[in-house]
Amino acid sequence: MVAPSLVAFLPPLLPILVAAISPEPTVAAHSHSKPKPFPPLTPLRMQALLRHERGSSSRGGKLVVTAAADGTSSTAANPFTAHYFPQELDHFTFTPNASMLFYQKYLVNDTFWRRPSGGKGAAAGPLFVYTGNEGDIEWFATNTGFMFDIAPKFGALLVFIEHRFYGESTPFGNNADNFSKTLGYLTSTQALADYAILITSLKRNLSAEDAPVVVFGGSYGGSKSFLNHGLKYPHIAIGALASSAPILQFDYITPSNSFYDAISQDYKSESLNCFAVIKATWDVLDERGSSDKGLLELSKLTVKYADSIGGWLEIAFIYTAMVHYPTPANFLENLPAYPVKEMCKIIDGFPANADILEKVFAAASLYYNYTGDQTCNQIEYEDSSHSSVLSDWGWQACTEMIMPMSRSNESMFPPSTFSYDDVSNACLQLNGVPSRPHWITTEYGGHKIDKVLKRFGSNIIFSNGMRDPWSRGGVLKNISSSIVALVTEKGAHHLDLRSETKDDPDWVVEQRRQEVEIIQGWIDQYHQDMA
């Protein structure tokens, strides 16, 4: 069975803004006005299953409200103010295009901030900065309630910075020809420089140059929080919390089959029958897709291709494993607590002789329609003729963020192999540029990371939950006394960054307690050093 394509999201892009604007010395004046609102995100076919994040577009006003952990709107809302920083397009060359500007979006909450008082008064509270992922920054801010929970204790200013080319922080117009010529500015190194420049400027404009900065991030954002503090700009922040950061998923540092094998283990640990039913699904799809009678049966599902069903099912099983949270959540979709367990209960509840597709469709509907508000399942998206239009993460995954992914015979998914040559050829055909499969480890390292970081790194928390398939590409052992790995057996994808709830199990509470204690130690040591 051919691995199906998944759905990605191509956000609208902004025109280049070339007027040089100097920020004024207040939070409000650091902001800049924006052009008119933008249309919603458009679903396009993705070239491969390489990442999971998606952002819901929120273009309307300046006030953003977080959601409660159970997926409902919180009455004790945490408001943000949205600001736009004039960022240079290219930080590393001195060419005419390099000095062109785009507006990078960031969100601020100063509810709990202890402002600098001057003289011999209390020191300014720290800046807690989230390094944005591959999506709208509001989406990640609303799912990072941990920073709000601990801000009062620290008197912290909260800042969430959007990644360039995502959400509203997009430098170019939504034009296929223009887009394909300008995505070269979408790189992790440019993004890290964006964060360093924005943080430095913000501190200066707030007269808070001596305030310590702690960077936070989950998943790709967690990788960037580590890279920003630990490797590229260690003078910008005093420490980093990198949650579910798969920094070892590159260059075969981690076995290429680890991601899918971890998902398979998640389901197998809940039910051997559940695992076996899902594993048998793909042969059934192949068999029915190869005969007229089988295609007639599949046509009742209003789909054209068996692969479309396979892709729809894979998304449900993969993402549900990632967000196997111990409490209800709406990070990707509205889901109950321990959703993998609930999926397997559905499958196991069918009679043994029931049709396999009936079983797995019912289980997948838990992911897509747990609330029951969908009248039908959108299994196929309208095929896009804009194959030359490049998606933002698709570009990064094709050019520099190449993660070897294969599936073993023991996986519950169809076996597959991985080839750098195949990826590079596809990238060249689609994007007009070849891949650089070893660039990430050349630029940032990764091989023998324990020995490397032990020599010069400090103040990093790597947190991972072993139910999260991305954890296999994370740092799972302490590297030094100040570079620690907090690993939970039952944790899921950056669970520790979510808001606390009354139903949190003790092991989540303890993990967050340790993180707060470590961060407090960083800040205390910083002030001692400054004194």
Q: Mind telling me the catalytic residues? A: 219, 468, 493
Report which DSSP code applies to 11: -
Assigned token pair, 25: 């010395």
* CB 40, CB 57: distance < 8 Å: yes
CA distance 343 to 62: 38
Report d(CA 389, CA 287) in Å as an integer. Answer: 34
Alpha-carbon gap, residue 463 to 466, rounded angstroms? 10
Whole-Å CA distances, 485 to 334, 458, 520: 30, 12, 17
| Rounded-to-integer distance, Cα 236 and Cα 279, Å | 48
119: left (phi > 0), else alpha (psi -120 to 50), else beta? left
Residue the block writes with tokens 């223009």: 178
User: Can you tell me the distance from the alpha carbon of 301 to that of 379, in angstroms, rounded to the nearest whole number?
Assistant: 9
Cα separation of 227 and 460, whole Å? 10
Location of structure tokens 């597709």: 357
Nearest to 170 by CA among 64, 80, 57, 61: 57
Considering just the CA atoms, what is the radius of gyration of the chain in Å? Answer: 23
Cβ contact 45:8 at 8 Å: yes
Residues 522, 214: contact at Cβ < 8 Å?
yes
* 8 Å CB contact between 222 and 51: no
Q: What is the DSSP string of 433-475?
A: S---TTHHHHHH-BTBHHHHHHHH--SEEEEEETTSGGGGGS-
Q: Would you give the distance in Å from CA 446 to the centre of its chain?
A: 20
From CA 273, how far away is CA 351, in angstroms rounded?
Answer: 12
Distance CA 526, CA 531 (A): 9
220 residue type, one letter: Y
CB 113 within 8 A of CB 61: no
Strand order in the sheet with 483-488: 63-64, 80-88, 101-109, 157-161, 127-131, 213-218, 239-243, 460-465, 483-488
Three-state DSSP state, 87: strand
Contact criterion met (CB below 8 Å) for 479 and 450: yes
